[in-house]
Each structure stands twice: as C-alpha cells, then as structure tokens.
Amino acid sequence: MKLLKELYMTNGVSGKEGDISNIVERELDLMKIDYEIDAHGQIYRIVEDNPLLCAHMDQVQSDSPDIVIYDRGEIFGSNKKGKSIGLGADDKNGIWICLNLLRLYPDLSFIFSTEEEMGGNSGILLRELQPESRFALVFDRKGGSDIVATFNSYCEDDMIDDILDVSDEFEMGFKEAIGTFSDCDHLSKYIPCVNISCGYHNAHSHVEHTVLAELRNSLKLGELIISELGENYYGRPQINVFDTIDDLTSIGGKRETKSAYTGWYKGARSYYETKTSSNKTQKKQIAYESYDVGSWTTCYECGQEYHETDRDEGGLCPFCGAMEYISISRYEEPTVKG
C-alpha cells in the first residue's frame, strides 16, 4: 500500500499532473516497461492486439493530504491540523490498479491520461495512433460494484455479458450501471471498453475516501478479465454519446437520467468548447443548454433527488446532510484551449 499512500499524498490537479506522472514513470521504469509521453503529458504504450488499460492522472482537488489514515476498512486524508483533505482517489485508485495489473501482465497496452476532469486528452492520442486493441479497461468509476458499459455505449452486449459472467463465477458482485463522463467516452470511438468501479467515494470533494476492500476487489476483477477474456475480441459500440448533438440533448432532456450525467455535462461542456471545429457556436450553445438542465442531482447516500438551489450551505444534501459531488454551479469555468 506504500505506492497508494504516496499517490494520495501527491497532488496532480488537472493540467499539473507532473508529480503524479513522475511516480508512474518511476514505477514503469522499475518494471522495465517501455513507454512514450505525448504532447499532453500522457504516458502510454500500445502493444498491437493486446488489451488496453487506462486511468487518469489528474484530480479535481488542488491540495493533497499530509496524513493518510486507515480506519476500519476505509482510507481518509487530512492535513496536519486534522482537516479532511480529499485523496484524489479519483483516479489514483485507477492508476494503482493499472500499475498492479502491469506487474502481472507486463505486455498490456496502457494510457495514463491527463486532464480527464477537464474533458480529457486520451481521444487525441487514439485518433493519432488508431490502435488495434482487443478491448480497453478503464478504472475510474466511483464505488465498488459498477461496470459502465452498454448504457453509455462503451461496448456491445458481448463484452459486458462476458465480464459479468466472470464476476458472477467468482462471486465478485459487479453489475452494469450508467456512468458520468470518463476516458471511455474517448476510447469507445476506437475500442470497445468499460469503466470499472475502483473503490473511491465522494469524488472531487475534501471528504473523498477509499473503501480498501472495493479497491482490492476491482484489481481482482481486472486480473480475472485479463486472464479469462484477454484473448477475446469484442464488437465496437455502434453509437457513442458524443457522436451526435442529438444524443447530448436527449440525455439532457430526460429527468430520470440526467442526474447520472451530472459530471458528464461538465466534461461535455469543455469537450464541446475545445474539441469541436465545425458549427462551433451552435454546438457550444446546445451544450450549455443541456448543461443547465443537469442541475438536478441524486444524493449518493440517501438516493433523494434534489435541485442544486435546494442544496444546503456547503454543498450538503438537504435530506440527509451527505456531501454531494462538486456542483455544476460551483464548477470553475474551464480554460478554453487553442
């Protein structure tokens, strides 16, 4: 757990991932695994025909804990004065899992991506490389039992069915879920992929923490997927949520699904602002409209849905007092690139 603790205590706020990438490079060097670094600071290696692992090196919090505490199965962070500090376990848990999987399977392809919390750069890399990979595993989902797959058009039924079979066979308890924005939104344009829970909770907040058993369970699932399914090819997803603006607005218009996309809107907005070339103004405008609809949220703790204007001071759920994920209204304007 030494590496995990070091990752938690090192800050990699979006755009300043250097200290995290130094750790990743050091670990890859120790394993004698070759890699390249692209213009966006992403660490990658593509081995044709092998499965691809992906986790992002940036985090939302601009500070990191001085002290990492393990208590009754959960890991928390704090500063020297005892104030809670988020771990950045989104997505350091994913980095830790990918590095551990590379220790077991050193021939896998991998991308340690940058600025995922701002819309992500892994798509740019894949567009250039057009890799021939069997499938990709992203470890960047909250909680301990979700696999984001066909509901987000990341893969077809063949892939998720096989993975759930593995989970059932080894009694790991994973189920399919709807997810927010992740690197899968980029990767799935080129490779079928899934986003797997990696044990973090209350992401983006100062009370972010990790459930250690869930983190270990995700690593185990990763191991099993590679060992049981690593030789398989899977169908490419037919529709991607980013492919048409209609998809974006239709998701934004549905009250029952939009809360699941709270974080996704944030990603979508910076994505559309920075990555679209044609019809830029119109797309930007539509993206903003659906973004505004997304101010409803579901409390992860009690399951109640509430509007951001009903939020308690300090971003707490008005029903149960639980801390909610960073709200859209408090999200800082992303810097528009280019």
Binding-site size for Zn ion (CB under 5 A) equals: 4
Counting contacts by CB under 5 A, is residue 17 touching Zn ion?
A: no
| 91 touches Zn ion by CB under 5 A | yes
Q: Among residues 140, 185, 208, 273, which is the contact residue for Zn ion, using CB under 5 A?
A: 140
Using the minimum distance from each CB to Zn ion, give the nearer residue, 138 or 317. 138
Nearest approach, Cβ of 205 to Zn ion (angstroms)?
A: 10
**Binding segment for Zn ion among 1-9, 82-90, 205-213, 316-324 (CB under 5 A)?**
82-90
Nearer to Zn ion, 91 or 214 (CB): 91
Shortest distance (Å) from residue 56 CB to Zn ion = 6
Does residue 27 interact with Zn ion by CB under 5 A?
A: no
> Does residue 90 belong to the site contacting Zn ion (CB under 5 A)?
yes
**Is the CB of residue 8 less than 8 Å from the CB of residue 75?**
yes
Rounded least distance, CB 90 to Zn ion, Å: 4
Give the pair of three-digit tokens for residue 157. 């039924």
**Crossing angle for the helix pair 18-30 and 89-104, nearest 10 degrees?**
10
Beta-sheet strand order (sheet of 36-37): 36-37, 43-45, 109-113, 52-56, 136-141, 193-197, 146-148, 175-177
Gyration radius (Cα) of the chain, Å: 19
**What minimum distance in Å lies between the beta carbon of 115 and Zn ion?**
11
Find, among 140, 234, 249, 251, the residue nearest to 190 by Cα. 234
x/- site string to Zn ion, residues 147 to 186, per CB under 5 A?
Answer: ----------------------------------------
Span of 6-14, 26-34, 134-142, 209-217 interacting with Zn ion by CB under 5 A: 134-142
Nearest to 77 by CA among 198, 216, 202: 202
Reading the block at residue 103, the tokens are 């220790």
Q: Which of 289, 251, 253 is nearest to 269 (CA)?
A: 289
Q: Which range, of 77-85, 133-141, 156-164, 303-311, touches Zn ion by CB under 5 A?
A: 133-141
Site for Zn ion in 190-209 (CB under 5 A): 203
Nearest to 111 by CA among 38, 168, 166, 60: 38
User: Closest CB to Zn ion among 90 and 185?
Assistant: 90
Closest CA to 250 of 208, 207, 286: 286
The 37-76 contact track toward Zn ion, x by CB under 5 A, reads ----------------------------------------
Q: With respect to Zn ion, which residue has the nearer C-beta, 140 or 273?
A: 140
146 binds Zn ion (CB under 5 A): no
- Scan residues 214-243 and list those touching Zn ion (CB under 5 A): none
Enter the tokens of residue 18.
């250097």
- Angstrom CA distances, 40 to 37, 45, 121, 251, stand at 8, 14, 7, 30
Q: Where are the alpha helices (DSSP H) in the chain?
A: 2-8, 18-30, 89-104, 122-129, 157-169, 184-187, 212-229, 245-253, 255-258, 262-275, 280-293
Which residues would be at the binding site for Zn ion (CB under 5 A)?
90-91, 140, 203
